[in-house]
A and B are shown apart, each in its own frame.
Chain A
Amino acid sequence: KAGVTQTPRYLIKTRGQQVTLSCSPISGHRSVSWYQQTPGQGLQFLFEYFSETQRNKGNFPGRFSGRQFSNSRSEMNVSTLELGDSALYLCASSSLTDTDTQYFGPGTRLTVL
């Protein structure tokens, strides 16, 4: 079974631009969560989607948004990029039968210049 895939793997943007990151969960998994990982703050929860609905949200500004499609694929969007948004963005998926095991993708490395 294929793991969680994230595209693109690397991205360079400039301040003020917006960016969209994509995540394809493991087949059959309906829950997708997003995390931001930085050296200073570590791994921080952004939001979680289940059956196309946002179920949980972390403490991030409204510039960070996401959505989930009917096939469980998810995207997150960051508008008006700031230098501090440079981070590794990780996506994780989990199944209904094992909600406590989150399978992480390799992440998208976003650099904001």
Chain B
Amino acid sequence: QKEVEQDPGPLSVPEGAIVSLNCTYSNSAFQYFMWYRQYSRKGPELLMYTYSSGNKEDGRFTAQVDKSSKYISLFIRDSQPSDSATYLCAMREIQGAQKLVFGQGTRLTINP
């Protein structure tokens, strides 16, 4: 069993929809959680970063962490065709700042 599980999709939704992306994890030592976006033929770029349970909002994006359930989510409001990409969750322990463990990635398509 992988430490981080993420539904690979693909996920296809109409423009303007609310998108929900999720990851579960098994390692209770994970304390820092990130969401990356990766466009085709590009490297991942950091979207959201959080280290506490609860919600963190940044524009149309909201990251949610529930450490008790070992579950994290990313919500995208008012989705745009430009949001079409692969979304990867990532997490790490307190020590080992650069050793990220990634989910498989969810391929998202927003249809105009």
Binding site for B on A (CB under 8 A): 4, 31, 33, 35, 42-45, 48, 55-56, 58, 90, 92, 94, 99-107
Contact = CB atoms under 8 A, between A and B. Distances in A.
Nearest to A4: B43
B88 interface: yes
A92 B46 CA distance: 11
A104 B45 contact: yes
Interface in B28-61: 32, 34, 36, 41-46, 49
Interface residues of B, number: 22
Nearest to B102: A43
A64 to B, nearest CB: 15
Give the residue among A31, A58, A102 with the most B Cβ atoms within 10 A: A102
A104 B43 contact: yes
Contact of B43 (A42, A45, A92): A92
B58 to A, nearest CB: 13
B100 to A, nearest CB: 6
Given A4-B43, A90-B43, A102 B105 contact: no
Contacts of A94: 97-98
A94 B100 CA distance: 13
26 contacts: A4-B43, A31-B98, A33-B99, A35-B102, A42-B102, A42-B103, A42-B104, A42-B105, A43-B44, A43-B102, A45-B101, A48-B99, A56-B96, A58-B99, A92-B43, A92-B98, A94-B98, A101-B49, A102-B98, A102-B100, A103-B45, A103-B46, A104-B44, A104-B45, A105-B43, A107-B43
Interface string B76-112: 0000000000001010000011111111110000000
Contacts of B100: 33, 35, 43, 45, 102
